[in-house]
Amino acid sequence: MGRRYYTLLVREKASEPWGIHFGDYDRECVEAEREDITAYPAVSGYHKRDTRIIRTGDTQAEIDAGVRALNEERGNYNPVAVNKAIESSNRAGRKISGAEAKAIHALLKGRH
């Protein structure tokens, strides 16, 4: 692995894959960029929940592998679709509690 490199990743929506926004050898610099783009979400379109900072080596291949691993970690899990299914179930009479919904999300994310 080359020198430590920090990359700010962003996504448009929770169901979208992560993409590279900015990178630097200094984590504080990357954190400052994150603060800049999330300070006014109405302008930038980014909320802090839609950002991640990853640490990899400084080659493009290492950075790409880090982004790919994060996107693959999500698998086919789509939190928006899960929430819609839970809401639909609740409307149909099968009430799913908050604790049950949280457990469903955790299971689908692979954190069981």
Q: What is the pLDDT at residue 15?
A: 75
**How many domains, in total, are found in the chain?**
2
**In the predicted structure, residue 112 carries a pLDDT above the cut 50:** no
Nearest C-alpha neighbor of 18 from the set 65, 62, 68: 68
Phi, psi dihedrals of residue 18, rounded to the nearest 5°? -75, 145
Do 53 and 84 share a domain, yes or no? no
Do 14 and 35 share a domain, yes or no? yes
Do 57 and 91 share a domain, yes or no? no
CA distance 54 to 11: 14
Q: Please give the distance of CA 67 from its chain centroid, rounded to a whole number.
A: 10
List pLDDT tens digits, range 4-56: 999 999 998 877 889 999 999 999 999 999 999 999 988 888 899 999 999 99
**In this structure, which amino acid lies at residue 35?**
E
Domain assignment of residue 89, given as a range: 79-109
Give strand pairing partners of 6: 24, 55
